[in-house]
A and B are shown apart, each in its own frame.
Chain A
Amino acid sequence: MASVDTPESSGHGRGKQKKWVRKRIGFRIDMTPYVDVIMLLLTFFIMTTTLNQPQVMQINLPKGGEEETVKVDMGNVVFIRVSEKGNIAISKGKSDGTEEQPYKVTFDRMKDYLEALGQANKDMIMILKFDRKGKYVYMVDILDEINRAAIEKRYSFSKMNDEDLRVLESVGG
């Protein structure tokens, strides 16, 4: 065996020098199984992880119950009604409580209309009325379009009633 006398640097007495000491062959650990396990773990985590975190659209509803109403100047109000089929009708409110003739807007042009209305009146409040039978995607699309438009984002949701349905029918349902 390759066992050699290790020279001792410090003078520790002669007796020790004669002792046969096994040479420390720079010991190494075989890392292969360790790496194997680590790789397995890594594969597991890569497979199970979900990196694309969905994004969210923050909504704040007004506090308080249904019966509490807030008085607003009807002249600032813009009604956005969305029909069952996803057609959009925009109409401006007048200060005396009535509203102007609604007009039909395609989804692509809605942002331009909203920006024009928002620039004309800085205190614009949008009232969104969606048909209950419509699809959820209409609501998200329209909220997204409002978020993208360069206007003050003041809007609230309101229930659709028969009056609104008549308005929508007048522009083609």
Chain B
Amino acid sequence: MPAIKRPRRSGVAIDMTPYVDVIMLILTFFMLTAQFKAELSEDIKVNLPKSGNDTTKLPERNVMTLVVTKYGDIFADVDNTKVREDVLGDVLGLAAFHPDSTTKAGFESGVNLSGDKELKRPLVKFTDREKFKKLLIDLRLSSKSNVGKDLRIVVKGDREADLGAIQDLMDMLRETKNTRFALVTDMESGDKKELEQKK
């Protein structure tokens, strides 16, 4: 008896290969462009001022971020963990300094600096201006020996920060021979410009 050829139900098989290819491409793109929160000093929340004319983007690697909060505190951070460990003695360390002795430091008075989250990084507090200046130099030297590249300095100031704190910081930067730095701003949205024109 000849074998009866039963029609085999082949189950609808969709060829997923192109789909997976595209997904992999997108995945690769996001993996390469991703920056992790630990690398950025996202921990201290600041409300950046807006500006419209700058085309330079924030450098991605080898950045020393100097955050100035509205309480007048200055936080110094580098994105390289090795440099952090070298200079601050902690992989996650964050240097904090309050230049104005007449007001209370925000990080001392228990204000939540990182928005709604809790600040997880240990603060290395500086009370002396000269020591903080030395830290700025140390960070640069350590970065040069560990990474081989010079640090780029960016200042992230809060809109409401006192100009005095910024001026103190600029003085310290100049005294430590850091004469090139950048102020971080947010892109001005189009609707604000229209508002200005209406006035």
Chain A contacts for B34, CB-based, 8 A: 45, 48-49
| Number of residue pairs spanning A and B whose beta carbons lie under 8 angstroms apart | 155
Q: Are A56 and B23 in contact (CB under 8 A)?
A: no
* Cα separation A56 to B30 with both chains bound (whole Å): 23
Chain B contacts for A65, CB-based, 8 A: 174-175
Q: Are A45 and B55 in contact (CB under 8 A)?
A: no
Q: Give, as a whole number of angstroms, the nearest-CB distance from B45 to chain A.
A: 13
Chain A contacts for B180, CB-based, 8 A: 58-61
Binding site for A on B (CB under 8 A): 13, 16-17, 19-20, 23-24, 26-27, 30-31, 33-37, 40, 48-60, 68, 154, 157-167, 170, 173-175, 177, 179-187, 196, 199
Q: Are A56 and B182 in contact (CB under 8 A)?
A: yes
Binding site for B on A (CB under 8 A): 28, 31, 34-35, 38-39, 41-42, 45-46, 48-63, 65, 108, 130-141, 143-144, 147-148, 157, 159
Closest to B34 in A: A49
Extra contacts besides A138-B163, A144-B51, A147-B51 (12): CB < 8 Å: A35-B16, A35-B19, A38-B27, A45-B34, A55-B55, A56-B185, A57-B184, A58-B54, A60-B180, A134-B163, A135-B159, A141-B49
Q: Are A52 and B163 in contact (CB under 8 A)?
A: no
* Cα separation A58 to B183 with both chains bound (whole Å): 6
